Chain A
Amino acid sequence: MELAASKKVANPSPKQKKNVKPKKITVENVWQHRVQYMMLLPCILFFILFSYLPMAGMILAFKEFRFDTGIFGGAWVGLEYFERFFQDPQSWTFIKNTLIISSMKLILALPFPIILALMFNEVQSNKLRGFFQSIMYMPHFLSWVVVVGIIQSILAPNTGLLNQFISFLGGDGSTYFLMEEEYFHSVMFWSYIWKDIGWNSIIYFAAIMSISPALYEAAAIDGANKLRQIWHITLPGIRPTILILFILSLGNILSAGFDQIYLLQMPGNTEVSEIIDTYVIKTGLESGQFGYATAVGMMQGVVGLIVVVIVNRFSNKMFNTSLW
């Protein structure tokens, strides 16, 4: 969502008045803008230190890390770490787990915020709708720590709300949902929906609002009922938004959301819940295999970038929208 939105920000639309171009880089022009450069200086320094320096630090993927020589010292090890990763049968499980979780979030979760936006659109009173919307946005502002805390309590065996409800219906109320492998994906999926469905609906709702009301009026005169109006006017109207958001979210294919998955991990479900993100943190930050973890993390980043670049080219051709 962020990428899609930023593309519109990054590409000033043709509507903008005078098309002022940046001046040539000459001493005089630079001096004229010295205040702006001073204002940008901390920002540029920041991104060099906290974004580009770590990118250079990826060289560790080919080196042995030693604290005394720092990031750029150490002996070359070539592709050793990559070989180790791909020779470990466990790695394929992690890749599989990551792909399952990320595709559930990218594909299976896609219709939910759209449907919610359509439903909001049918609420007649603006005040009431605003009220419902602010309730639905709210979980987005909570930390995953809090959400998982709530889940732990609600899904607790015997005393949790869900288990009490199950025993009320005459079932067995002692299931430890968070410990059991078979429930992991549903807990993960529904908590993800719960937390972000409202927030993700904002952008679709805005797209729906920008559809001309005249189209609906014309359709109503032609005798189209509500569902037909949604099918033939609303959905085609927001199709570009849906497509762009979906295609661009594919860049996250190899990162399935660290916070949520790490916090939901339990001894009982690691077989399905260990993903590349959590594996990198565990091998790197928790057990100090810096070089190896850098190599694994690097594959994740590179695959993400490649997918974004390819998909961006594709969307540029098909829909005439591009990130840069």
Chain B
Amino acid sequence: MYDQHDKTLRFFRVFNMIIIVLLCLTIILPFLNILALSFNDGADAQRGGIYFLPREFSLENYIEVFQQSTIINAFGITLFRTVLGTIFSVFLTAMAAYALKTKTLPGRKVITFFIFFTMLFSGGVVPYYLVLNELQLTNTIWVYIIPSLYSVWNILIMRTFFQQIPESLEEAARIDGCSEFQIFIRIILPMSKPVIATIGLFNAVAHWNDWFSGSFYVRNSELKPLATLLQEMLTSQQALSEALLQNSGAYAALDKITVTGDSLKMATIILVVAPILMVYPFIQKYFVKGVNIGSVKE
């Protein structure tokens, strides 16, 4: 009877592991497919039959992508907003969180609710757009950075983290004559690396992935970020990517067409995903910690 029990348990564990591995494969395989397509000759790919390895290996798609001034420009815009937006956002969020953590702050509860309420209710996207318009932010690069400086969620996560730093440290510094701002810079920030990494990652990913503001708040095509460009490629189906190709004269220069709208799209997807995949393994241990700080710790 005991043996029987052990056997079923082992069977159960092996079965469980197999399912998990299969689930992980459903995540990995689609990427391999896109990767294979992006490194495959575009015209050849139209015949189908490409799974997880390229059939006719070719770098043409990437060469074409990197020759597109539109894509390079969009890459630059995305990089600019991600770096600048993340730095400003993390610093400002930390300042607000530090102030809100101060228990003696007069009006602390009112201010916290004032901020928290915006998470429950918003005026909707149309009045929001019109406000951006009145503030002259639309159609400038600042519409990517300024309206996303703060997020309620990030402020709350940081505040919870700061609350866990022993107050005796601050008091000691205060006795040594440190000003409040010095305490924030010299004591709080250096002790908060995990949460700074987490919020930094959330911010950077949100900036990198945001296509919405580029599509609806900006008309000037020179200000479009990479994600918006990819979105335009997807929605207009072939049209845009083919137009890009025709502009570049790829059709005229080559007697044989090797790059198609679809293959260009695959290379662009990889270009958008690659930076996230490259930093992901290094920061993932931080964000799980960070998320748990903000959620489950009581």
Contacts and interface: CB of A to CB of B under 8 A. Distances in A.
Are A and B interaction partners?
yes
A134 interface: yes
Contacts of B273: 142, 146
Q: Which of A3, A40, A142, A154 has the most CB of B within 10 A?
A: A40
Contact of B129 (A120, A284, A300): A284
Interface in B229-257: 230-231, 233-235
Contact of B100 (A40, A194, A206, A294): A40
Nearest to B272: A146
B81 interface: no
A54 B128 contact: yes
B193 interface: no
A30 interface: yes
A202 interface: yes
B298 interface: yes
Contacts of B175: none
B124 A15 contact: no
B155 A43 contact: yes
Interface string A275-294: 00000110011000010011
A290 B288 CA distance: 41
A284 B217 CA distance: 12
Q: Which of B24, B209, B269, B295 has the most CB of A within 10 A?
A: B295
A301 B37 CA distance: 42
A134 B24 CA distance: 10
22 contacts: A6-B153, A9-B295, A26-B106, A29-B104, A29-B106, A33-B102, A33-B105, A35-B181, A40-B99, A43-B95, A44-B115, A49-B135, A56-B127, A71-B130, A143-B210, A161-B33, A202-B295, A281-B125, A290-B130, A297-B125, A298-B123, A305-B120
Given A142-B276, A146-B230, A297-B126, 11 more contacts: A6-B119, A9-B160, A53-B131, A55-B121, A71-B134, A122-B12, A145-B227, A150-B30, A154-B30, A305-B121, A324-B116
Interface of B: 5, 8-9, 12-13, 16-17, 19-21, 23-24, 26-28, 30-31, 33-34, 37, 45-51, 92, 95-96, 98-100, 102-109, 111-116, 118-131, 134-135, 147, 149-150, 152-153, 155-157, 159-160, 163, 179-181, 184, 205, 208-212, 216, 227, 230-231, 233-235, 262, 265-266, 269, 272-273, 276-277, 280-281, 284, 288, 291-292, 294-298
